Amino acid sequence: MTAGERGAVAPLRGKVAIVTGGASGLGRASALVLARAGARVVVADRDVQGGRQVADLVDGHFLACDVSDLDANRALVEFTQERYGGVDIALLNAGVATGCGVGDDFDPERYRRAMGANLDGVVFGTHAVLPALRARGGGSIVATASLAGLAAVPFDPLYAANKHAVVGLARSLGPALAPENVRFNAVCPGFAESRIIDHLRGMLSEQGLPVIPAEAVADTVLRIVTGDGTGECWFVQAGRAPEPFRFRNVPGPATPAGV
């Protein structure tokens, strides 16, 4: 990406972004969109070859990173600060498929791997990047959840569980961090183009279910980053315009009895 291309449309000019899981799929598409909007991007992934290719495309930097490791998240933030002087945006996108259920096919190692990437990676990433965002006077964190974080997923309940956790984290941290000018939101795609749906492609084709282009999710990430909302969970679904999901009529502790 040339300096001219970076400066043509640049709502994020002067901003620095971290993208985890940036070597492919939604992370790759988001890194490209954020860079096109003017941000300097650090790509993080376990896939060294793919990550370096994306970093070259966005004229950015790459760091090999296992997001399930807290120290690796801290090192990623430090690396970004050393290269660009700070951090303004963190897209905590890295994730994996579960690969097992809770019955006879339960595999503790696969379970821990999925929870480590999909939930710990968001928690650890948030913990690591918060001091850097505070040092800049605020910033934006976007966590990649899933439509599986908003609906039941009988064929993969553990994936649904960790994605529901990310949704709960976004809804809770949004208002909690607002006084510090740190916005926390989630993006919740349906079946989107990424490695995580590789084992589902046959089923999707048989049922005639469309696969959402990764660019549609990336464009939604940009809308979230350049917007002013917090604590929102934006769904991205084929045939519908992306928007924050409305959590309607959830009973609260202050609801009067009988109402």
Both structure tokens of 233: 């969970």
Nearest to 93 by CA among 37, 23, 181: 23
DSSP state of 152: -
Contact 36, 5 (CB under 8 A): yes
Amino acid present at 252: G
Q: What's CA 63's distance to the chain center, in Å?
A: 17
The answer to whether 111 is a known catalytic residue is: no
Planar angle of CA 151, 235, 59, nearest 5 degrees: 130
Q: For residues 97 and 99, what is the distance between their CA atoms, to the nearest angstrom? A: 6
Q: For residues 24 and 95, what is the distance between their CA atoms, to the nearest angstrom? A: 11
Sheet holding 61-64, edge to edge: 61-64, 40-45, 16-20, 89-92, 139-144, 182-189, 233-236, 243-244
Both structure tokens of 69: 């490791």
Q: Which of 84, 159, 191, 235 is catalytic?
A: 159
Report, as residue numbers or ranges, the catalytic residues. Answer: 159
